Amino acid sequence: METKLRWGIIGTGSIARKFARGLKESLTGQLVAVGSRGQETVQSFIAEFPARGHASYEALVGDPDVEAVYISTPHPMHAQWAINAARAGKHILCEKPFTMNAAEAVAVIDAARAAGVFLMEAFMYRCHPQTARIIELLKEGRIGRARLVQATFSFRAAWDPASRLLNKELGGGGILDVGCYCASMSRLVAGVTVGAPFADPIEVKGVGQIGDTGADELAVAVLQFPGGMMAQLCAGLRVNLDNTVRIWGEEGHIVAPSPWVVNRDAAESHLMVHRDGAEAERVTIRSERSIYAYEADAVAAALAAHESPAMSWADTLGNMQTLDRWREQIGLRYAADGIS
């Protein structure tokens, strides 16, 4: 019987619980330990997901039974704990946004390279069969050459200035929290147009609304890519929008009604393909397990290579650079940038 990859989770918030549930469905992984910043929170977590509990992140990283760590802390702590995990010889899956900025991303990648460990940014949607099917449809030429991507991820969060979503000191703001998805998808599609895994924008223009906490509550960007493709991105935390992706090509367009979380459980999702002059086609994607299970299995499949084609190091760095440029357009800086 093949031995499963032994996971430890750093952090005990809602996203950590989603990943722990995904591990239960994973074909390749198992949860063995969890680390929190206090005994009470870790006990609550392991009561739901049986595992060894550590009352500090340091103890989790130092646990010899842990082979891979999933980092689910607030954004400003990602770089620190990814570097600590790499130095401890652990493989790393780090929640999005990978870091606070591109400079921190370079430091984390350098640490993983020096330690010879696996490292991936946790864009779970990039590991799901639906995203693979989108790329297949584009490569098949079903809508001709892609000319425009419209990607939106915005929701109305409860007003809580202390929450990680809105607290600037915790990395709050829409661009980092959900705009990263929109940038990632647009860069993925742009890559198809030039025959590459991804493409980085040659121009980024943006506007945004910065709220009372200093975090961006709504932001819009327009990107220009090599080869002529453009993208319209919208990210927000205080308004519910139509969270879809539309890819417009020279001969039609593709709509992904649920591009990010896709289906939370193993079930079905669908895409709509609209070819000019033809009846719309519904493309069904059947899933064998939940989206976080696919993510965990993508890590195990690529351990030997140290990075995954689902989200390579160069792809992550390019995405962080794009987010930096978007934030610069609206004058949003964090302490990690040197000016808060």
pLDDT along the chain (340 residues), means of 10: 88 96 96 93 95 96 98 98 98 98 98 98 97 98 97 97 96 98 98 98 98 97 97 98 97 97 81 96 94 97 97 98 98 88
Thinking of the domain 125-337, which architecture would CATH place it in?
Answer: 2-Layer Sandwich (3.30)
Do 94 and 71 form a contact (C-beta atoms < 8 A)?
yes
CA-to-CA separations, 256 to 42, 144, 185, 283, 285, in angstroms, rounded: 37, 17, 11, 10, 11
pLDDT confidence of residue 323: 98
> Is 0.85 topped by the overall pTM?
yes
Whether residue 85 contacts residue 58, with contact meaning beta carbons closer than 8 Å, is answered with no
Domain range annotation of the chain: 5-123, 125-337
| Cα–Cα distance, 31 to 50 (Å, whole number) | 8
Spatial separation of the C-alpha atoms in residues 195 and 229, rounded to whole Å: 13
Closest listed residue to residue 252, CA positions, set 150, 142, 151:
142
Alpha-helical segments (H) within the chain: 14-25, 39-48, 57-61, 78-87, 102-115, 129-139, 174, 180-193, 291-301, 313-330
For position 263, what pLDDT does the model report? 73
91-95 and 68-71 as β-strands: parallel, antiparallel, unpaired? Answer: parallel
Question: Both tokens of residue 300?
Answer: 């195990």
Report the candidate in 192, 190, 181 with the shortest Cα–Cα distance to residue 258: 181
Q: What is the CATH number assigned to the segment(s) 5-123?
A: 3.40.50.720
Count other C-beta atoms under 10 Å from residue 272's C-beta: 15
Q: What single DSSP character describes residue 156?
A: B
CA distance 247 to 231: 9
CB 271 within 8 A of CB 134: yes
Can you read off the two tokens belonging to residue 49? 């997901």
Tell me, what amino acid is at 155?
F
Distance CA 143, CA 40 (A): 53
Query: How confident is the model at residue 264, as a pLDDT?
Result: 67
Pairing of strands 230-236, 52-54: unpaired
Task: Please list, in sequence order, all residues whose beta carbon lies within 8 angstroms of the beta carbon of residue 73, skipping any fewer than 6 positions away.
Answer: 10, 11, 57, 81, 95
Q: What is the 3-state secondary structure (H, E, C) of 216-232?
A: EEEEEEEEECHHHCEEE
The per-residue pLDDT for 1 is 46
